[in-house]
Amino acid sequence: MASAPQSFYELYRRSSVGTALTDTLDDLITEHRIDPQLAMKILANFDRAIAEVLQEKVRARLSFKGSLDTYRFCDEVWTFQLKNVTFKMENGGQVVSADKIKIVSCTAKPQGT
């Protein structure tokens, strides 16, 4: 029996790469070069691919410090907004600062659901 297709979070669609992909797909749809259904399949494949690559290939670690401004938990999604944040890569790497950041953390979905 075949299992149902696994769904992935759409968080990375709002990244610079995801936004560029979405804009390009919108242009192709407007120019009648692809169907909207194909664009949705491409976005679903993007969601899967980026989640898998980040999980399997990225091994870098960093630590950060900042002041928690607000936080919320809704529908299994945590959202944290921090101010005056400093990031430090492992191995004594460069320190990067930001006035404010937003962290979105989702509950991991079990395989095959």
Taking only the tens place, the pLDDT of each residue in 52-110 is: 898 899 888 889 999 999 999 998 889 999 999 999 988 777 889 999 999 988 876 65
CA distance 36 to 80: 34
CA distance 107 to 113: 13
CATH of residue 101's domain is 2.30.18.10
pLDDT at 2 over 90: no
In a domain, residue 72? The reply is: yes
In this structure, the answer to whether residues 16 and 49 fall within a common structural domain is yes
pLDDT at 89: 85
pLDDT at 4: 46
CA distance 81 to 84: 10
For residue 6, which phi and psi values (nearest 5 degrees)? -80, 135
In a domain, residue 111? The reply is: no
In this structure, the answer to whether residues 20 and 51 fall within a common structural domain is yes
pLDDT at 111 over 60: no
What's the number of domains the chain is made of?
2
Q: Provide mean pLDDT across the span 20-26.
A: 97
pLDDT at 110: 52
Q: Provide mean pLDDT across the span 40-48.
A: 94
For residue 67, which phi and psi values (nearest 5 degrees)? -105, 125
Assign 5 a pLDDT band (cuts: 50, 70, 90): low
In a domain, residue 112? The reply is: no
pTM above 0.95, yes or no: no
CA distance 83 to 57: 29
In this structure, the answer to whether residues 15 and 30 fall within a common structural domain is yes
Query: Can you give the residue range of the structural domain that contains 87?
Result: 62-106
Question: H/E element holding 62?
Answer: strand 62-74
Interior/surface letters 31-68, b for 16+ CB within 10 angstroms, e for the rest: eeeeeeeebeebbeebbeebbeeeeeeeeeeeeeebee
pLDDT at 6: 60
